């Protein structure tokens, strides 16, 4: 059963001034956005096993739209391990990053994160 725990970043993420831009290539996902202080932010996720951008309104977990979460006891990580999409589930993190101004969230399973990539 998924357990959601709030997590934080060294800067605000939820109140983006524009839709986040996502690029993915060879297991690396780059997330770029402009925060409410008009500062360009760049997060780099490495060894990405899964990601999806979805509507907050469509999510049944009652996500708070201005928060970010780490998912512990992740059923998604369990599924990825069961289908051999990841080799060692203990080295992966399942995270949800909400963008309330855009009405979207990014759900991602990754091995490492650099929140100051740019």
Over the chain (118 residues), the average pLDDT of each successive run of 10 is 90 78 96 88 95 87 87 95 88 92 89 90
| CA atoms of 42 and 79, how far apart (whole Å) | 29
| Helix (H) or strand (E) segment spanning residue 53 | strand 50-55
Q: Supply the pLDDT for residue 17.
A: 66
For the purposes of burial, counting CB atoms within 10 Å of the CB of 57, is it exposed (0-12), middle (13-18) or buried (19 or more)? exposed
Q: Supply the pLDDT for residue 58.
A: 82
- For the chain, the domain total comes to 1
Backbone phi and psi for residue 89, each to the nearest 5 degrees, phi listed first: -65, -20
Domain that holds residue 95: 3-114
Q: Supply the pLDDT for residue 1.
A: 80
């Amino acid at each position: 059963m998924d357990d959601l725990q709030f997590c934080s970043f060294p800067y605000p993420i939820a109140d983006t001034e524009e839709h986040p831009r996502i690029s993915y290539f060879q297991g690396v996902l780059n997330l770029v956005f402009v925060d409410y202080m008009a500062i360009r932010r760049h997060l780099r996720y490495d060894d990405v096993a899964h990601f999806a951008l979805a509507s907050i309104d469509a999510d049944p977990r009652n996500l708070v739209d201005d928060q970010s979460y780490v998912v512990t006891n992740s059923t998604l990580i369990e599924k990825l391990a069961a289908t051999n999409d990841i080799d060692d589930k203990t080295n992966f993190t399942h995270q949800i990053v909400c963008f309330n101004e855009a009405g979207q969230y990014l759900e991602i399973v990754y091995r490492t994160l650099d929140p100051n990539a740019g």
